[in-house]
């Protein structure tokens, strides 16, 4: 219960950004690896059902920002590996700037209001 209370839902619209960033820094990954990575980085603070990842992956693939191909994992299992595309890199750069601006703005408002 207490651990649940401390966890946050993923902020609307940020999942795409996080996925893109993960793929950029780690290279092609399958969905499970992405989910695991997210949990590690957030130190389990993000409340994320692993299935929730799929809409983001589908969306990004349809937008042409990532591309999925079926390959074997190290343990010789079949999995779909997603890689970031050129468009994805560009989008990531733009989104990052936007996010920084936005969070900076929110931060500023919050601290000034106090």
Specify the residue, 77 or 108, whose C-beta has the smaller distance to other proteins. 77
Give the count of residues interacting with other proteins (CB under 8 A).
Answer: 23
Q: Residues with Cβ < 8 Å from 57, sequence gap 6 or more?
A: 19, 31, 66, 68, 82
End-to-end alpha-carbon separation of the chain, Å? 31
Q: How far is the CB of 80 from other proteins (least distance, A)?
A: 5
Q: Does 78 bind other proteins (CB under 8 A)?
A: yes
Specify the residue, 27 or 64, whose C-beta has the smaller distance to other proteins. 64
Paired tokens of 76? 């010789």
- Figure out which of the listed residues 15, 20, 31, 92 binds other proteins, where binding follows CB under 8 A: 31
Q: Does 69 bind other proteins (CB under 8 A)?
A: no
Binding footprint of other proteins on the chain (CB under 8 A): 30-33, 36, 49-52, 54-56, 58-59, 62-64, 73, 75, 77-80
């Amino acid at each position: 219960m207490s651990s649940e209370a401390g966890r946050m839902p993923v902020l609307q619209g940020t999942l795409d950004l996080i996925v893109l960033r993960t793929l950029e820094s780690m290279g092609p990954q399958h969905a499970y690896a992405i989910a695991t990575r997210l949990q590690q980085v957030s130190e389990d603070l993000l409340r994320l059902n692993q299935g929730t990842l799929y809409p983001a992956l589908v969306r990004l693939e349809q937008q042409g920002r990532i591309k999925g191909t079926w390959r074997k994992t190290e343990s010789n299992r079949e999995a779909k590996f997603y890689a970031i595309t050129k468009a994805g890199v560009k989008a990531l750069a733009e989104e990052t700037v936007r996010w920084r601006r936005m969070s900076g703005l929110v931060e500023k408002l919050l601290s000034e209001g106090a």
